[in-house]
């Protein structure tokens, strides 16, 4: 009888360096992402740590009841220390990863993936311009990381030698965070209290964190300035005739550098093919809703004007296709999988209710189904048995020749003070199964 020899575990990728803060929140990392075992003993690996200067930070290995291991890193004193993580298999063979931990005295740990700019907040790939995020509670990221935002506050200092102080009126305790713009010279950062989990298996950790970076206002500019159009604005858009509408909150893309309130106006070059509605809520927030009526094209112009009469235009080139469904860039498809956020999912997603998405809106799915056609000249028709009415989005696998796409009915809430919009949408792409 031949017995296979035990093979040692191996490092996978490179464990990142971390910036920590004495008194700030801890950083937790799942260790399975950084080690692999040729004998499939990953769950059976035991982990230990070494620090070149244990006064600077702590590195605690925690293991849940299912054997999933994570490391919790906490800054304790200003300085730098070298971390070594050792993974050992049941046969006492091991592998190592190393990283540098740097601890400062700010009292709030820099949180990877949260960055700021003037009037802009970026959270884990989502960009918020000129407004606040939806409530962020038990949000699961694409890699399984779970976080809840408990409170947030903007801080300012006049220069690098000065202490940070809170910006009056920016405290949020409702689970949201807002972008910030100002003409007051100084350096600005966002600080926040988070509850974080590596995944659903591990105990949550609560602490104080800060944005990875800061932004600086160099000087107060004298004289009135015209409204500014954010570079990320939509330039072209495709809708489906009779399909769901697409909406934009105008203040997320058109802002005033002087902090003045703006008024908005809208023109639509072809109202026969496109419905374009500008709605102003009780707080003065402007929402633009665009809905395809008939095959054709139209140019929509949104004009923002400040109290002194200076204005800036935002133009959107809209194409309306004769499809009945509006393409929406969230759920992409391939045979047997749904692709969402760059990750492939081969099972039905849980019912989607009040899901925050990258543009700052919140969506709820009401129904979904698959459609197919024999080739590009044929009409789309429903795939029997594929309809879901419980809010789920499910993949579809087939060996039958043809083109396949996902269609779904959903509602979108773009602004809390404006009614949501609802309609039918489709995956931006389709997949093709070739004949044998």
Phi and psi angles of residue 84, each rounded to the nearest 5 degrees, phi first: -125, 130
Q: Is 170 left (phi over 0), alpha (psi -120 to 50) or beta?
A: alpha
Which CATH code, of 3.20.20.150, 1.10.1530.10, 2.60.40.10, 3.40.50.970, is assigned to 16-104?
A: 2.60.40.10
Q: CB-based contacts of 265: which residues, under 8 Å, 6+ apart?
A: 278, 302, 303, 305
CA distance 73 to 112: 14
The number of beta carbons lying within 10 Å of the beta carbon of residue 282 is: 7
Fold of the CATH domain 228-321: Immunoglobulin-like (2.60.40)
Q: What tens-digit pLDDT sequence spans the chain (436 residues)?
A: 444 677 888 888 888 899 999 999 999 888 887 888 776 655 678 899 999 999 999 999 998 887 888 899 999 999 999 999 999 988 888 899 999 999 999 999 999 888 898 888 888 767 788 888 888 888 765 445 688 999 999 999 998 889 999 999 899 999 989 999 888 889 999 999 999 888 777 889 999 999 999 998 876 556 788 898 887 788 999 999 999 999 988 888 898 888 888 999 999 999 999 999 998 877 778 889 999 999 999 999 999 999 999 999 999 999 999 988 999 988 999 999 998 866 778 889 889 988 877 666 788 999 999 999 999 899 999 999 999 999 999 999 999 999 999 999 999 887 776 788 899 999 999 999 987 5
What is the residue extent of each domain of the chain?
A: 16-104, 111-217, 228-321, 328-433
Which pLDDT value is given to residue 128?
80
pLDDT at 230: 84
Q: What phi and psi values does residue 331 have, to the nearest 5 degrees? A: -105, 110
| CA distances (Å), origin 92, targets 44, 64, 217 | 11, 22, 56
Residue 1 confidence (pLDDT): 44
Beta strands in 52-185 (DSSP E): 57-63, 69-75, 79-88, 94-104, 109-110, 114-117, 120-123, 126-129, 139-140, 146-157, 165-166
**51: exposed, middle or buried (Cβ count in 10 Å: 0-12, 13-18, 19+):** middle
**pTM exceeding the 0.85 threshold for the entire prediction:** no
Determine the longest span between alpha carbons in the chain, in angstroms: 90
200/146 Cα distance (integer angstroms): 7
Q: Which tokens in the block code for residue 13?
A: 């990728």
Residue at token pair 């994570």: 70
pLDDT reported for residue 138: 81
Chain centroid, CA 385 distance in Å: 33
- Name residues whose C-beta falls within 8 Å of residue 302's C-beta, 6 or more positions apart in sequence: 250, 254, 264, 265, 266, 278, 288, 313, 314, 315, 316
User: What 3-state class would DSSP assign to 31?
Assistant: helix
Q: What torsion do the CA atoms of 25, 30, 31, 35 make, to the nearest 10 degrees? A: -140
Q: How many Å is the Cα radius of gyration of the chain?
A: 26
DSSP states of 276-329: EEEEE-TT--EEEEEEE-SSEEEEEEEEEE-TTS-EEEEEEEEEEETTSSEE-T
Residues 58, 60, 63: CA angle, nearest 5 degrees? 170
Rounded to whole angstroms, how far apart are CA atoms 148 and 127?
18
The helix or strand, by DSSP H or E, that contains position 208, with its residue range, turns out to be: strand 205-210
The answer to whether the CB of 26 falls within 8 A of the CB of 74 is: yes
Instruction: Give me the DSSP letters along 374-418.
Output: SSTTSPPEEPTT--B-SS--------SSEEEEEEEEEEEESSTTS
Q: 287: which residues sit within 8 A by CB, 6+ positions away? A: 247, 248, 249, 250, 278, 279, 281, 414, 415, 418
Q: Which phi and psi angles does 34 have, rounded to 5°?
A: -120, 5
Residue 108's closest CA among 208, 182, 16?
208
What 8-state DSSP symbol labels residue 172? Answer: B
Q: CA angle 414-416-417, nearest 5°?
A: 110
Q: What is the pLDDT of residue 222?
A: 62
Nearest C-alpha neighbor of 208 from the set 13, 20, 11: 20
Q: What is the pLDDT of residue 270?
A: 95
């Amino acid at each position: 009888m031949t017995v296979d020899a035990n093979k040692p575990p191996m490092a996978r990728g490179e464990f990142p360096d971390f910036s920590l803060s004495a008194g700030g929140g801890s950083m937790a990392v799942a260790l399975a992402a950084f080690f692999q075992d040729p004998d499939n003993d990953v769950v059976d690996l035991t982990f230990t740590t070494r620090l070149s200067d244990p006064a600077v930070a702590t590195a605690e290995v925690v293991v849940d009841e299912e054997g999933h291991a994570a490391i919790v890193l906490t800054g304790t004193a200003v300085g730098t220390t070298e971390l070594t993580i050792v993974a050992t298999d049941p046969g006492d063979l091991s592998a190592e990863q190393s990283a540098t931990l740097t601890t400062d005295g700010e009292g709030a740990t820099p949180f990877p993936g949260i960055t700021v700019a003037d009037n802009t907040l970026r959270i884990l790939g989502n960009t918020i311009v000129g407004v606040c995020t939806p409530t962020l509670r038990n949000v699961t990221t694409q890699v399984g990381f779970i976080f809840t935002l408990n409170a947030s506050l903007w801080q300012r200092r006049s220069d690098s030698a000065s202490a940070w102080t809170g910006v009056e009126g920016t405290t949020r305790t409702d689970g949201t965070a807002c972008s910030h713009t100002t003409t007051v010279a100084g350096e600005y950062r966002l600080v926040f209290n988070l509850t974080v989990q590596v995944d659903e298996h591990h105990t949550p950790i609560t602490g104080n964190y800060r944005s990875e970076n800061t932004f600086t206002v160099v000087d107060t500019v004298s004289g009135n300035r015209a409204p500014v159009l954010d570079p990320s604005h939509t330039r072209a858009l495709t809708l489906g005739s009779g399909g769901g509408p697409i909406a934009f909150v105008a203040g997320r893309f058109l802002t005033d550098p002087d902090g003045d309130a703006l008024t908005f106006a809208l023109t639509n070059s072809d109202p026969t093919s496109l419905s374009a509605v500008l709605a102003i809520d009780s707080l003065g927030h402007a929402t633009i809703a665009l809905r395809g009526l008939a095959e054709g094209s139209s140019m929509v112009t949104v004009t923002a004007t400040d109290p002194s009469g200076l204005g800036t235009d935002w133009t959107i080139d809209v194409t309306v296709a004769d499809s009945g469904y509006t393409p929406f860039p969230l759920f992409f498809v391939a045979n047997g999988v749904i692709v969402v956020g760059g990750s492939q999912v081969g099972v039905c997603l849980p019912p989607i209710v009040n899901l925050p998405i990258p543009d700052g809106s919140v969506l709820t799915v009401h129904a979904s189904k698959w459609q197919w056609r024999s080739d590009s000249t044929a009409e789309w028709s429903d795939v029997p048995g594929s309809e879901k009415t419980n809010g789920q989005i499910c993949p579809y696998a087939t060996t039958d020749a043809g083109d396949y796409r996902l269609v779904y009915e959903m509602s979108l809430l773009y602004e809390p003070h404006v009614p949501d919009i609802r309609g039918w949408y489709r995956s931006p792409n389709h997949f093709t199964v070739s004949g044998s």
